[in-house]
Amino acid sequence: MWGVIKSVLAAFFGVQRDRQRREDFERGNPMAFIVTGIVMGVLLVGVLALVAIWVAG
Amino acid sequence: MRTLLVWLAGGLTLAGSSQMALASGWNMPVGVTDLSREIYNLHMAIFWICVIIGVIVFGVMFYSLVRYRHSKGAKAANFHENTTVEIIWTAIPLLILIGMAIPATATLQKIYDPSGAELDVMVTGQQWRWRYEYLGEDVAFNSNLATPRAQIRGDEERGENYLLEVDEPLVLPINRKVRFLFTSDDVIHAWWVPDFAVKQDTVPGFITENWVRINEPGIYRGQCAELCGVDHAFMPIVVHAVEEDEFDTWLAERQEMAAEEAMGIDREWEFDELMERGEGVYGSICASCHQPEGQGSPPAFPALAGNEQLLADLEWHKDVIINGVSGTAMPSFRTTLNPVELAAVITYTRNAWGNESGDAVQPAEIAERLQ
């Protein structure tokens, strides 16, 4: 699970280690990445919205 | 290393000459409000950040090109990835962008906060003039281009404020927060006064806001900044910023004039009076399309001199002026002109340039029609 989160974070940042990438592709099932990606995407938007409210409010 | 220093020196020389270019009037003005000063400083800070980044990036690039060139026997490194370097060159721009976003957002917040204004001015864009209304003060007027047509045609020498002069400037007090409410009667215009750092689109059907608190009295000029038709260049903005007591006196005078004008609606006007007033209205409002001698510029702008439909049908004539003609360039003047001005300009166009209808249209009947 931690490996999946790390890979999603790496995708957000835009830099991934080649070794990690190869490991990810060995998993076979992309569902874990898709679900984690959506959840963390929503979390990112939520955090940015909170920061904006905190700064502007 | 010495080569790198040469490149850096070259970069700094370039930066120095751009400083000279800035001083020579190519840059945006510092302006006359606290906010315009802040926007200017922000602009310069970000400009210099870009210069420094540019000098470093191109310095390293040209240094590497020269120092490790093929003819000196340099061999290219051959590797696939370096995560550390990739993280660094992603993180540094991120930090720089956040560093620029913080002051920029702080300034934007101030720009978008018109609260606490002491005066509200409604600014309406029209093809091709500005209309200013001091909300709650019963003062409203049109601001038309004052540059003579002869200068535009090239028959006369251009004046000092060519295309940047108006018949009725917007008058504003210094040291007071003035809120602008922008809208448009026809197409999108943009009200732009560089010295206030205000450039705001005026959109038909929408109200947009901006505000200004002027620090120094003076005359500030601007232009429409959104292409809005053939006379886009002929709807300048002139703002007279005056001391506060001077502004109060001016506003009181304008209110008195507006009250007198309102009284004028009910009384009977002499034919000559209407003609004189109508000539002025025609010159500032109608002549840009229908031409000073009423000859028009067909097919878009029909001639008024000798226009048979106009001479035959007074009611149709009134309707065209008041409501405009949909699907053509003729706008409605219902709100732009008051009943006295409407009656005067109708009378004038029916009796000028050989049009001899003899009709005198009274402001009272126009006022009734406007109900």
DSSP characters for A38-56? HHHHHHHHHHHHHHHHHHH
Residue A21 to chain B, least CA–CA distance (Å): 12
The answer to whether the Cβ–Cβ distance between B83 and A55 falls below 8 Å is no
The answer to whether the Cβ–Cβ distance between A17 and B80 falls below 8 Å is no
State yes or no: ipTM above 0.85: no
Looking at residue B14, its pLDDT comes to 52
Q: What is the pLDDT of residues B303-342, one digit of tens each?
A: 888 888 888 888 888 888 898 888 888 888 888 888 888 9
Looking at residue B6, its pLDDT comes to 54
Query: Which residue among A14, A17, A56 sits closest to B90, beta carbon to beta carbon?
Result: A14
| B238 CB-side CA count, 13 A | 18
Question: Cα B164 vs. chain centroid, distance in angstroms?
Answer: 11
The candidate with the shortest Cα–Cα distance to B350, out of B300, B286, B289, is B286
Q: What is the pLDDT of residues B36-91, one digit of tens each?
A: 999 999 999 999 999 999 999 999 999 999 999 989 888 888 888 888 888 898 99
Mutation choice for A interface testing from B79, B80, B85, B86 by most A CBs within 10 A: B86
B90 touching A (Cβ < 8 Å): yes
How big is chain A by its Cα radius of gyration, in Å?
14
Return the amino acid letter for B5.
Answer: L
Minimum Cα–Cα distance from B85: chain A residue: A15
Angle, helices B339-351 vs B363-370, to 10°: value is 120
pLDDT over 70 at B18, yes or no: no
Return the amino acid letter for B209.
Answer: E
Helix (H) and strand (E) counts in chain B: 11, 10
What average pLDDT does the segment B119-143 reach? Answer: 92
Beta strand B208-212 with B129-134 is unpaired
Residues B334, B337, B343, B348: is their CA dihedral positive or negative? negative
Chain B residues within an 8 Å CB radius of A17? 81, 83
Chain B residues within an 8 Å CB radius of A6? none
pTM of the predicted model as reported, rounded to 2 decimal places: 0.72
First CA to last CA distance, chain B: 83
